Amino acid sequence: MEERGKGGEELEERGKGREELEEEAIDAAGAGPVFETMEDRAKYQREKVDEFCTRFGLDDVKYHLPTPDPRLLGGKQNEVYSYDRHLLLDQKHEILFCFVPKVGCTNLKLLVFVRQGLIRRSELTKARDEVDQRALEGAMFRNSFISIKDKARKKMALLSYYKYTMFRNPLERLASGYRSKVERFPLSGLKLDSPHFNWLRMDIYRATHPQEFQLWKMERGKTNVNVSFPDFIDYWTHNPVVNKVDGYLDEHFLMISEMCQPCRTRFDFYGNFRHFTRDARVLIDKVGGSYSDLRQGYYSDDTLSTDERMKLYYSTLPQSQKTDVIRKMALELEFHYTIFPEERDSHKQILGIDAELPL
């Protein structure tokens, strides 16, 4: 079942006009600046991103194709793969779209591919687990930077295409990743991907409870084990999450900035998952679509709001782990606050601590 986020993939606003959406953009500004139009907001974001990249010494990567950089992902070779995989080209509409797992990416990828005629429209009526993953992965591979060997073509897209992405509060996205990839199933048996993401639960249990893990393994994993949020956080803060199935850093637990690299790409618009319907409209307009081109949401019966659920998860962490999370996420959170100033310092409410970002 898919997670229902506050203002996330819920499409109850379908059919609203541009004027209503722009009014909501103003109303949703909260403590941040007020914008009359979405373009005003986009211009503000672009200016603030330029300032951010200058402040943190990343101006020199602007519009340059990636090579392993010690300032980004520690110089690991995965950096090039992560960037190239997540940048999708829509040549028909001249759009460069960076998709981010746990940020409505299935909906947005289907929107882009359906409007290009690369995916059957019938996929829009399916639940996430029923979407034709082979067709979706095929379209992604053929239309991502990975499949393009001509560097000049990539550079042209970076310089001239309309560049769009959707971001999400990093703490919210991390908790969502735990919920869907770890908590959803117990650790059961010794198969890597049965149940889904069993390799990750196995790695977490091995790292956080080594003696218990050895006993469990000797018994061939016959006893189901539930992996707690504190154990997940302990693992995530001290280990790279390498997918044991494909050998790459797992995209669900990478930072958004590691995949989309905004100082390199300089997007024209940054959507906010908290206002998914409103901000998806920008991409819908660019591909000449309508809200009917967004896949219908399928949700669980859980009525907890995103804020309540996040606080519930993070309240289980001791102070030391909260500090570890803030330390690892500091730059990611600062970037999020840069483009969405109305959310600044939200980590204090989510974590329940009065801590500044250690930048």
Domain presence at residue 107: yes
Looking at residue 23, its pLDDT comes to 44
C-alpha gyration radius of the chain: 20
Mean pLDDT of 252-277: 94
Q: What percentage of the chain has pLDDT greater than the value 70?
A: 85
Mean pLDDT of 306-329: 94
Domain residues for the domain of 337 are 18-168+256-301+329-351
Mean pLDDT of 319-337: 97
Domain presence at residue 261: yes
| pLDDT tens digit sequence for 52-84 | 999 999 999 999 988 755 555 544 556 678 889
| pLDDT tens digit sequence for 201-260 | 999 999 999 999 999 999 999 999 999 999 999 999 999 898 888 888 899 999 998 899
| pLDDT tens digit sequence for 121-142 | 999 988 878 899 999 999 999 9
Q: Whose CA is closest to 333, among 344, 322, 323? A: 344
Question: What value does the mean pLDDT of the chain take?
Answer: 87
Return the top range by mean pLDDT from 4-8, 31-35, 231-235, 304-308.
231-235
Phi, psi (degrees; rounded to nearest 5) at 251:
-65, -25
pTM recorded for the entire structure: 0.88
Q: What percentage of the chain has pLDDT greater than the value 90?
A: 71
Residue bearing the bigger pLDDT, 144 or 3: 144
Domain presence at residue 200: no
Residue 41, token pair as written in the block: 């907001």
- Cβ-based burial of 146 (10 A; exposed 0-12, middle 13-18, buried ≥19): middle
| pLDDT tens digit sequence for 157-186 | 999 999 999 999 999 999 999 999 999 999
pLDDT band at 27 (very low <50, low <70, confident <90, very high): very low
Domain presence at residue 274: yes
For the beta carbon of residue 54, count every other beta carbon within 10 angstroms: 11
Please give the Cα distance from 33 to 31 (Å, whole number). 7
> What's the total number of domains in the chain?
1
Looking at residue 11, its pLDDT comes to 35
Cα 108–chain centre separation: 12
Q: Which amino acid is at 31?
A: A
Domain presence at residue 195: no
Starting at the edge strand that comes first in sequence, how are the strands of the sheet with 162-167 ordered? 87-90, 95-98, 162-167, 269-272
Residue bearing the bigger pLDDT, 30 or 154: 154
Looking at residue 78, its pLDDT comes to 67
Q: Whose CA is closest to 184, among 125, 240, 110, 128? A: 128
pLDDT band at 306 (very low <50, low <70, confident <90, very high): confident
Domain presence at residue 138: yes
Residue bearing the bigger pLDDT, 3 or 349: 349
Please give the Cα distance from 278 to 294 (Å, whole number). 12
Please give the Cα distance from 249 to 235 (Å, whole number). 14
Domain presence at residue 130: yes
Q: Which amino acid is at 138?
A: G
Looking at residue 3, its pLDDT comes to 39
Looking at residue 31, its pLDDT comes to 63
Domain presence at residue 128: yes
pLDDT at 5 over 70: no
Q: Which residues contact 15 (CB under 8 A, 6 or more apart)?
A: 291
Q: Whose CA is closest to 131, among 301, 5, 295, 293? A: 295
| Residue carrying the six token digits 């059961």 | 188
